[in-house]
Amino acid sequence: MAHVSVRDLEVTFGNLKVLQNLNVDVEEGEFLVLLGPSGCGKSTLLNSIAGLLEIAGGQIWIAGDNVTWKEPKDRHIGMVFQSYALYPRMSVEGNLSFGLKTARVPKPEIQRRIKAAADLLQIQPLMKRRPFELSGGQRQRVAIGRALVRDVEVFLFDEPLSNLDAKLRTELRVELKKLHIQLGSTMIYVTHDQIEALTLADRIAVMHNGVIQQLASPKEIYRRPINRFVAGFVGSPAMNFIDAKIKKANGGVSAVVDDGSEVSLNGYAFGNAPNEGQSISLGIRPEQLSMKGMNGAPTVPVTVSLIDPMGADALLWGNLGKNMISVRIGPEDGYKIGETVRPGFDPASASIFDAESGARL
Amino acid sequence: MEPSGPRPIRRFAPSRVFVYTVLVISAIYFLIPLYIMIVTSLKGLEEVRLGYIFQLPMHITFEAWDKAWNKACTGLECLGMHTNFWNSVKITVPSVIVSIAIGAVNGYALANWRFRGSEFFFIVLLVGSFIPYQVMIYPLVLLTSAIGIYSTLWAVIVVHSIFGMPLLTLLFRNYFASLPAELFKAARVDGAGFWGVFFKIMLPMSLPIFTVAIILQVTGIWNDFLFGVIFAGPTNYPMTVKLNNIVNSIQGVREYNVNMAATILTGLVPLTIYFISGKLFVRGIAAGAVKG
């Protein structure tokens, strides 16, 4: 049985239905990331699991208990917030021990657990300090420690790294991953940052408009996005979308772009056979387009309009008909603006969506 | 290397001069009455009668202060205002404590624990604070006499506590609503209940708003005349009512020096509060401004 199970969840704010018939199961020890743009309902889902929101319908089970109507403290959860939410008038030690004191844990046990958490997170020297005397990274460590000492079944993270600067974010992200391996606890993590999602998650739930669009492993989400939204949201730089029409000839399938050029799609595994003349969106990631000629691979003609150097590599921007296309190239590759290049790609690794519904074909 | 280029700041810009001139003039304007009061209260009656109100006293005497505090007469009674000072204290202290306690808990509940109808309750409170309280005086007289506390200090305390509630609730609600919601959530996850969150998390962060509330309530209740004169009964008059009676009862000569001393004595408590809490207020805000 799943460790955390959300069944037919419904959450309303006034007349607005934020979440509807939402189902998700998280296995024990799994790291699930809820990914989506702001306003997609991911934080609402997390708050519902934590018991911080009144839900309009459905059930929530944690570790085999129906906790739908239970207080947050009785749900075996620990939570880490974006703004750290450390109690400003208490020392670090006070912050860590507050939950244990309210639960009337005996003093020696409190001391033992605080020490263990402090060792794990390397915050022993900070114990007597107040939150305002800590840096952002230290504060977030303390906030994680506060969840850690309570010895919980499930950790809930609400965009915990969003307030940190880029370097610290990467550091703490790595530490979080180590922590997950070390503890083996179930973790549910909300973020709008796809890099965090791809690096941390065992599975990612991509959310949009209160609906889980796709729930799968990071690899699957990245390689086989289930619809255009997921494809466009995950990946940086974003996936290229080429508007085209299906053309069937000689037993093969190809796409005709608006400028008349034809791109072969032979090799792509269609889930649903496309119709002649159907409008599609051909999705190719920038790194799937290669300037080095691949044997017999279909190519797309691109007129170079801009080169973006990005350190380790560079991004070539160009036009194919009305579509803007980006191609990942080497940092030293010399291309001239205005020149037409023909990067090739493997149709098997591309994604094709119906232009109207956005669903994967 | 020397910095070059024109200096951007002129020390005495015309606008500055203008601002300070206006400020100094208005300060003097407001301080003149205080000066006259202090000077007059330190003069003997002979000297007051000469009529030079701006002149410093030739012989400083505290007779007027002694008389105002211990012997000033209203009607046949010549006990001064010291009993009324204590009446005012007995009214102000419990009224301030009770009204702030109720306002703080109300505000906290409305800001953090949205219950069914909490918005409606809040609107009712708001409307309540806009109804002129003269409308409610007669019903309150009937009410207090029905429960047998009319004409006692208790009646005044109850009335002050009731009328302080809407404004204080609004004040505290807005303050608690401005605190980060995640703190409240974190405390809930940590297992703190309604009172646990209130006393251990919210109250320690509320020094600034408590300072504001205390200033408002102490000065408001201390300066109150209407409720004192209506609900307290003659033996329990607060200081403001007594001051009015002293100044308005004329037996022979008008003792301006005594009146001045009595007025300053009455105003002393709010003045002290302003002086002390001004500093506390700034400190409170500075401490509260630290993001947790």
Where is pLDDT greater, at A113 or B277?
Answer: A113
Mean pLDDT, residues A277-285: 91
Q: Is the minimum CB–CB distance between A335 and chain B shorter than 8 Å? A: no
**Inter-chain contact B291–A81, Cβ cutoff 8 Å?**
no
CA distance B272 to chain A (A): 29
**Inter-chain contact B188–A85, Cβ cutoff 8 Å?**
no
Return the pLDDT at B118.
85
Comparing CB atoms, the residue among B180, B188, B201 nearest residue A72 is B188
Nearest residue of chain A to residue B185 (CA atoms): A52
3-state secondary structure A177-229: HHHHHHHCCEEEEEECCHHHHHHHCCEEEEEECCEEEEEECHHHHHHCCCEHH
Residue whose tokens read 């807005």: B174
Nearest residue of chain B to residue A49 (CA atoms): B189
Rg, Å, chain B Cα set: 25
In this predicted model, what pLDDT tens digit does every residue of A231-280 receive, in sequence order? 999 988 899 999 999 988 877 888 888 888 888 888 888 888 888 888 99
pLDDT band at B39 (very low <50, low <70, confident <90, very high): very high
Least confident segment among A108-112, A115-119, B122-126, B257-261? B122-126
Return the pLDDT at B154.
93
Mean pLDDT, residues A117-141: 90
Where is pLDDT greater, at B285 or A297?
Answer: A297
CA distance A37 to chain B (A): 20
Taking the C-alpha atoms of residue A249 and residue B204, their distance in angstroms, rounded to an integer, is: 76
- Best residue in B179, B185, B189, B210 to probe A by mutation, most A CBs within 10 Å? B189
pLDDT band at A174 (very low <50, low <70, confident <90, very high): very high
Neighbours of A203 (CB within 10 A): 19
pLDDT cut 90: percent of chain A above it: 52
Cα dihedral sign for B224, B229, B230, B236? positive
Interface size A-B, in CB pairs within 8 Å, comes to 74
pLDDT band at B285 (very low <50, low <70, confident <90, very high): low
B197-236 residues touching A, CB cutoff 8 A: 200-201, 204-205
Is pLDDT of B275 > 50?
yes
CA distance B173 to chain A (A): 20
Q: Is the minimum CB–CB distance between B278 and chain A shorter than 8 Å? A: no
Is pLDDT of B224 > 90?
yes
SS3 A353: strand
CA distance A22 to chain B (A): 23
Q: Is the minimum CB–CB distance between A153 and chain B shorter than 8 Å? A: no
Return the pLDDT at A44.
93
Q: Is the minimum CB–CB distance between A135 and chain B shorter than 8 Å? A: no
DSSP string, B28-77: HHHHHHHHHHHHHHTS-HHHHHH--TTSPPSS---HHHHIIIII--BTTB
Element (DSSP H or E) covering residue B18:
helix B14-41
CA distance B191 to chain A (A): 5
Residues of B in contact with A84 (CB under 8 A): 292
Residues of A in contact with B205 (CB under 8 A): 88-89
pTM for the model stands at 0.82
CA distance A313 to chain B (A): 40
Return the pLDDT at B290.
40
A44-83 residues touching B, CB cutoff 8 A: 47, 50-52, 71-73, 77-79, 81-83
**Inter-chain contact A73–B191, Cβ cutoff 8 Å?**
yes
Taking the C-alpha atoms of residue A76 and residue A65, their distance in angstroms, rounded to an integer, is: 10
Is pLDDT of B292 > 60?
no
SS3 A34: strand
Residue whose tokens read 């003269």: B134
Return the pLDDT at B71.
85
**Inter-chain contact A132–B187, Cβ cutoff 8 Å?**
no
Ramachandran category for residue B142: left, alpha or beta (phi over 0 → left; psi -120 to 50 → alpha): alpha
Comparing CB atoms, the residue among A47, A71, A79 nearest residue B186 is A79
Return the pLDDT at A199.
93
Return the pLDDT at A267.
85
Q: Is the minimum CB–CB distance between A131 and chain B shorter than 8 Å? A: yes
CA distance A192 to chain B (A): 18
Is pLDDT of B289 > 70?
no
The mean predicted confidence, pLDDT, of chain A is 90
Taking the C-alpha atoms of residue B63 and residue B59, their distance in angstroms, rounded to an integer, is: 11
Where is pLDDT greater, at B277 or A222?
Answer: A222
Ramachandran category for residue B229: left, alpha or beta (phi over 0 → left; psi -120 to 50 → alpha): alpha
pLDDT band at A1 (very low <50, low <70, confident <90, very high): low
Nearest residue of chain A to residue B115 (CA atoms): A54
Residues of B in contact with A87 (CB under 8 A): 183, 186-187, 200-201, 204, 292
Q: Tell me the C-alpha to C-alpha distance, in Å, between residue B211 and each of B83, B96, B207, B268.
A: 28, 12, 6, 18
Residues of B in contact with A88 (CB under 8 A): 183, 204-205, 290-292
The ipTM value here is 0.84
Return the pLDDT at B140.
92
Q: Are A323 and A197 in contact (CB under 8 A)?
A: no
In this predicted model, what pLDDT tens digit does every residue of B146-194 receive, in sequence order? 999 999 999 999 999 999 988 899 889 988 988 889 999 999 999 999 9
Is pLDDT of A93 > 90?
yes
